[in-house]
Structure 1
Amino acid sequence: MKQVHVVKRSSPFLVALYFALAIAVVLGWNASGFSQEYKQIVIATGSPFELGLVDEFAKAFQKKYGGVVRCIKTPTGPGLDLGRHGLTHITMGHEREATARFVREGYAARRIDLMHNYTIVVGPSKDPAQIAGLTDIKEVHRRIAQAKSPYLSRGDGGGMNILEIKTWKELNINPEGEKWYSVSKKFMLASLLDADKNGQYHMLDSSTWALHKAKTKDLKLLVKGPANEYEMCLVNPAKHPHLQYNQDLAEKFFDFLIGEEGQRIIADFGVEQYGEPIYYPAAVNVSR
């Protein structure tokens, strides 16, 4: 399994480097041009890669079909931007409005529900904002703001960050600049560990928590919110003709993930090691 890490978006130089790396992945690393026999596809996603699920997909797919599956680890928003620029064959993300806009713009040849986990909020065991047991994410954020309790935002343009921004807007609250509000500009695991270190509330997905909660010292799962639904898009090669190369392999990978074998990988992932599902497949007939 090959990977290119996402870089922070705050620096124009780093953004340029990020897209340069993405181009190198799509076109292959061979400076003299790649052989027609060299089959590779690029996936853009975040937590499913960070937590190891994409590796499981890749191992099973490559064993069956050959080729190379590469991944650019990126939050949902930047991942869709990679698709807009023709720098990935497939996107996986969990922000429906952003994905719907991507589809309306004509960048997706195919779109489908792939799996889900849950939106959760963790926080200090003393729970100063008294959010334990709530299920309404808006009410959770209202109480945190009202109590001025320390809160850590990822601020990375990912699906969870998009949901957070939307929630503050619906509450007519602007937390930026407030002493109790911080932004990490980091991915999920790093942000979770920062929140634990600093005693902050933090919103993330249930999968990251299930795999890494043992690394925290004073955070508790306080809120289990709505399903966090992952959608997968096959980027439209009509928008970017160079994606026609290996399009057949990308389509096979797309179909593999939504077929019985791919959905079974989702259902089984992490259960033996962690004692609970990490993701839940969209196909009901393979659910645990």
Structure 2
Amino acid sequence: MRTTAIKKRFHSARFGVIAVAALLALSACSGSGTSPSAGGTAAANPKTLILATTTSTQDSGLLDELVPAFESASGYQVKTIAVGTGQALKMGEEGNADVLLVHAPAAEKVIIDSGFAIDRLLVMHNYFMVVGPSADPAGIASAKTASEAFTKIANSKSAFVARGDGSGTETKELAIWKAAGITPKGQAWYLQSGQGMGATLQIASEKQGYTLTDDATFLANSANLKLTSLVKGDPFLLNIYHVMSVNPAKWPKVNSAGAKAFSDYVTSADGQKLIAGFGSAKYGKALFSADAGKSEDELK
């Protein structure tokens, strides 16, 4: 799966493909002093669609199957930007994407309430888990909840590798620390990678530290990691994904038709079947549960 970043287009000129880091820097600069009707990206080709999504959908391998299937069914070409959910939502808010596939429900509701995104639909879920070295120096394997595990990690001053990238995973991690009554930032044992889930797992493996991960990314990369799953099953670790379209009333140049086509596909019978079966052949279990048409309350 290629990950492409898109340069902001002004007037009718085509935008080019640049590095993701450059795009994010440009987005940050252009966010102030720009009226919604004056900027924002739109595919120069109406059959090109910009998808901003979380790194877990890429690092788990899901996009390698989902995007080609959608392209084949729809005729659209998808340019994927996999970043932390916070950055993906910001891209939507600034009109630098057409459709968002993300996993931070509280932050998603903010962008919906602000009017920058519309048509938020439940797509799928899996779970977060706490992983770490098999030696388990903090003794978290006996913990009944994620907050109990985090308390043990802090008390033992065992290395913990955090995302630190504004992602949905970081949002969940910080909520767990808050529930435990612990402020980890600034502690010598608390490290921030500033990277996606796959890279953060690699760092945790190298340092033999703990981290919070979605189970799909962990299973997809476990063969290359010296880490084991230690805490899972806590209902608080539910990890929910929604799709939503960037609002064309705010950013007229976005590909609203393409965004709707993508949303329709991932919530359709075909899209849901693909999601529900993803990973089964390779890992012996599906990495996501398909949830289109359900409410969040049904998952809890």
Task: Kindly state the Cα deviation for residue 73 of structure 1 after the two structures are TM-superposed.
Answer: 0.8
Is the Cα contact below 8 Å between 1:49 and 1:71 reproduced in 2?
Answer: no
Query: Structure 1: which 4+ aligned runs deviate by more than 6 Å?
Result: none
Report the Cα distance in structure 1 between the residues aligned to 2:52 and 2:239, rounded to whole angstroms: 18
Give the SS at the match of 2:73.
helix
Is the Cα contact below 8 Å between 2:126 and 2:240 reproduced in 1?
Answer: yes
Which residue of 196, 200, 205 corresponds with 1:196? 205
Is the Cα contact below 8 Å between 1:149 and 1:180 reproduced in 2?
Answer: yes
TM-score by length of 1: 0.85
Partner residue, 1:104: 113
Task: Kindly state the Cα deviation for residue 14 of structure 1 after the two structures are TM-superposed.
Answer: 7.2
Partner residue, 1:4: 4
Partner residue, 2:242: 231
Give the SS at the match of 2:115.
coil
Which residue of 154, 162, 168 corresponds with 1:153? 162
Which residue of 67, 89, 94 corresponds with 2:98? 89
> Is residue 51 of structure 2 the alignment partner of residue 40 of structure 1?
no
Partner residue, 1:222: 230
Is the Cα contact below 8 Å between 1:154 and 1:183 reproduced in 2?
Answer: yes
Give the SS at the match of 2:177.
helix
Give the SS at the match of 1:41.
strand
Task: Kindly state the Cα deviation for residue 57 of structure 1 after the two structures are TM-superposed.
Answer: 2.1
Is the Cα contact below 8 Å between 1:7 and 1:18 reproduced in 2?
Answer: no
Report the Cα distance in structure 2 between the residues aligned to 1:282 and 1:177, rounded to whole angstroms: 39
Query: Which residue identity is paired with 1:230?
Result: Y
Is the Cα contact below 8 Å between 2:95 and 2:251 reproduced in 1?
Answer: yes
Query: Which residue identity is paired with 1:67?
Result: Y
Report the Cα distance in structure 2 between the residues aligned to 1:117 and 1:19, rounded to whole angstroms: 31
Q: Tell me the percent identity.
A: 36
Which residue of 178, 187, 207 corresponds with 1:178? 187
Partner residue, 1:31: none
Report the Cα distance in structure 1 between the residues aligned to 2:71 and 2:87, rounded to whole angstroms: 26
Pairwise CA RMSD:
2.4
Cα displacement string for residues 65-84 of structure 1 (whole angstroms, at most 9, x for unaligned residues):
21211111111111000000
Report the Cα distance in structure 2 between the residues aligned to 1:67 and 1:190, rounded to whole angstroms: 30
Task: Kindly state the Cα deviation for residue 260 of structure 1 after the two structures are TM-superposed.
Answer: 0.2
Aligned residue pair count: 268
Report the Cα distance in structure 2 between the residues aligned to 1:118 and 1:99, rounded to whole angstroms: 18
Partner residue, 1:127: 136
Unmatched 5+ stretches in structure 2: 6-18, 30-39, 295-300
Cα displacement string for residues 199-224 of structure 1 (whole angstroms, at most 9, x for unaligned residues):
1011000001111111013x111011
